Amino acid sequence: MKIYTKGGDKGETGLFGGERVPKDSLRIEAYGTVDELNSFIGLTLTEIKDSEVIRLLNRIQNILFTLGSDLAAPENENKTYNIPRITKNHFEEIEKEIDKFDIRLNELRNFILPGGCKSSALLHICRTICRRAERRVVTLSNGVNLNPEIIIFLNRLSDLFFVLARYENKVSGIEDVKWQP
């Protein structure tokens, strides 16, 4: 199978079911941002040493592929193609991970700046890309019927990246950088 199809040479791409849409459509922008997040998680993994965090980030990458297929397929295509969808189980899994890592951290009493060790800084970038993906999905949801679990999942996921960034600083022996107004 060739990597290029030439089908997008005129600025369009195909959704599940064959519908052609412009490459700058809200749907493509939304799942393209999710793809960007997934790629950045891949980069972040090159700096992570903790096997538990590595396992978790690998799991998130797989869930993000599910989320991308959910976004790429209009709701009515699920019956035809049996497309995996984001469910309540996905964001509940993220909530459990947040709680598991957050309990290991000191209570947060100040706003903190993104930074510290390199892996923490990268996780903060994952958080901000995730927030952008969430905004793109919210914009898309104003015009089309979307799985509502997607927005919940992305909201929880950005919180997890924040907690993991703090955790990476802690295991690296680096204090969170406090905001100085």
pLDDT reading at 73 higher than 60: yes
Contact predicate 91/152, CB 8 Å: yes
More confident residue, 77 or 87: 87
Residue 93 is assigned to a structural domain of this protein: yes
The least confident of 21-35, 59-73, 121-135, 142-156 is: 21-35
Residue 10 is assigned to a structural domain of this protein: no
Residue 13 is assigned to a structural domain of this protein: no
Residue 118 is assigned to a structural domain of this protein: yes
Number of folded domains that form the chain? 1
Distance of CA 171 to CAs 2, 83, 121, 178, Å? 44, 39, 14, 17
Residue 136 is assigned to a structural domain of this protein: yes
Q: How confident is the model at residue 77 (pLDDT cuts 50, 70, 90)?
A: low
Q: How far apart (Å, rounded) are the C-alpha atoms in residues 160 and 16? A: 30
Looking at every residue in the chain, the average pLDDT score rounds to 92
Residue 78 is assigned to a structural domain of this protein: yes
Residue 142 is assigned to a structural domain of this protein: yes
pLDDT reading at 39 higher than 80: yes
- Residue 69: domain span: 24-178
pLDDT reading at 69 higher than 70: yes
pLDDT at 80: 65
118: CATH:
1.20.1200.10
Q: How confident is the model at residue 2 (pLDDT cuts 50, 70, 90)?
A: confident
Residue 52 is assigned to a structural domain of this protein: yes
